[in-house]
Amino acid sequence: MKILRVISGTNLAEGGPIEGVRQITRILTARGHVTEVASLDRDDAPWLSESEFKVHALGTGRDSYFNAPRLTQWLADHARDYDVVIQHGLWNASAFATMRGMRKAKRNYLVYTHGMLDPWFKHAYPLKHAAKQTLWFISEGRLLHGADYVLFTTEEERLAARRSFWPSRYRERVVKYGTGDIRLDDAAQRAAEFRALLPQLSDAPFLLFLSRIHPKKGCDLLVDAFAEIAAQRPELHLVIAGPDDSGLVPELSARAERLGIAGRLHWPGMLKGDAKRGAFFASEAFVLPSHQENFGIAVAEAMASGKPVLLTDKVNIWREVTGCGGGLVAGDDAAGVVSLLKGFLQLTPEQKAEMGAKARAGFLTYFEIGAVADTLLEVLEESAARGPRGAAHVGMAQAS
């Protein structure tokens, strides 16, 4: 099967859907399928040389939401060269270009929303949501209505999406999402290498946050909660790792200083590769106190590492986590995050080890990339079998 992914950008350093595309492409390639990507990257973008798949970079550097002419025309001309086309993400020029280009090509397509229909955004940014509701009538709603399927990575995401925009008429499908398994035989070595990056941490036990440092991630709640439990475990530290695109670290550092815990917080920045693996292996548990999280690929990575995960119920895979017994879940408020930390600290070493083992088993059941590929291929083959689009597609109506 020849698969085309359409995405706004392919720079792995910026995170987002491209990491998931990279992971699943490795499995699909090993099974004989071909994946190419059409993006709004400029064709001289430096990260293109590092790509593991062919990228058609069709951005101009001046693309606006309603005007990505190269991508629109390229899709109109080339969409029929592929067995299936998948649009990744909403609310950007690639989504609008896909809607227009695929209509011209009269070709079926699928859409991954990647959490971008979560109703949290409606409450957190009401003015922006009102503008998006207008765009929904013009672009995104029409894009989704015309898709073979709109793909969600969890049942939680699928149900939540219905509450965001009106009218909500599209064909829904839940497919697994996840990441590749990791080696466990070098865990001690990788953990030691990570600690060497933070000599001030020494051999102290620590909890790990690893994600973008962003207001929706609840880092402020985590700092406050850690301060509240700090006296219970004076040897325990907190590592907050990730890119700080929002400029929150100075504010959070000052907060920790006021609370008297600054010396026990560590900010290594964005971690990749072996350093990232080492951080998981060296930690006692992974913490993600988000107010909104579509999937949380770092959660799956922590579970693959055999680590307990401490989450809020706004991380959409929380049901899978509680179902396998691989972690603790609470509300996304101050009391909830404190209860996560206190609940974990009350466990015996044996209970923590058992929870970590269950997290590992849960990863293999729900999030291991091979199992993900199986469910995705089923949907892709179904879409490919439909052939070129004839009459206008009629989506399944869902009440918003």
Per the prediction, the chain carries an average pLDDT of 93
- Mean pLDDT of the region 272-278: 94
Q: Top-level CATH class of 2-179+370-389?
A: alpha beta
Which pair of structure tokens corresponds to residue 203? 């051999």
Give residue-wise pLDDT tens across range 323-359: 999 999 999 999 999 999 999 999 999 999 999 999 9
Q: Rounded to an integer, what distance in angstroms lies between the CA atom of residue 39 and that of residue 6?
A: 6
Q: Is the pLDDT of residue 395 over 70?
A: no
Q: Is the pLDDT of residue 299 over 70?
A: yes
Please state whether 94 falls in left (phi above 0), alpha (psi between -120 and 50) or beta.
Answer: alpha
Q: Write out the H or E segment, with its range, that includes residue 274.
A: helix 273-282
151: Cα separation from own chain's centroid: 14
67, 92 contact by CB (below 8 A): no
Q: Which residues of 270-304 are buried (b: 16+ CB within 10 A; e: fewer)?
A: bbeeebbbbbbbbbbbbbbbbbbbbbbbbbbbbbb
Report pLDDT for 15. Answer: 74
Give residue-wise pLDDT tens across range 148-165: 999 999 999 999 999 999
Give residue-wise pLDDT tens across range 4-49: 999 999 998 887 789 889 989 999 999 999 999 999 999 999 999 9
Q: Is the pLDDT of residue 390 over 60?
A: no
Q: Is the pLDDT of residue 253 over 90?
A: yes
Q: Is the pLDDT of residue 400 over 90?
A: no
Which CATH architecture is the domain 187-367 placed in?
Answer: 3-Layer(aba) Sandwich (3.40)
Best CA proximity match to 281, nearest among 310, 296, 301, 311: 301
Q: Is the pLDDT of residue 312 over 90?
A: yes
pTM recorded for the entire structure: 0.86
Report pLDDT for 398. Answer: 42
**Which amino acid is residue 229, in one-letter code?**
I
Report pLDDT for 58. Answer: 97
**Which amino acid is residue 322, in one-letter code?**
T
Report pLDDT for 389. Answer: 61
Q: Where in the chain is the domain with CATH 3.40.50.2000?
A: 2-179+370-389, 187-367
Best CA proximity match to 344, nearest among 293, 258, 284: 284
Give residue-wise pLDDT tens across range 88-122: 999 999 999 999 999 999 999 999 999 999 998 89
**Which amino acid is residue 398, in one-letter code?**
Q
pLDDT band, residue 393 (cuts 50/70/90): very low
Using DSSP's 3-state secondary structure scheme, residue 239 falls into strand
Q: Is the pLDDT of residue 396 over 70?
A: no
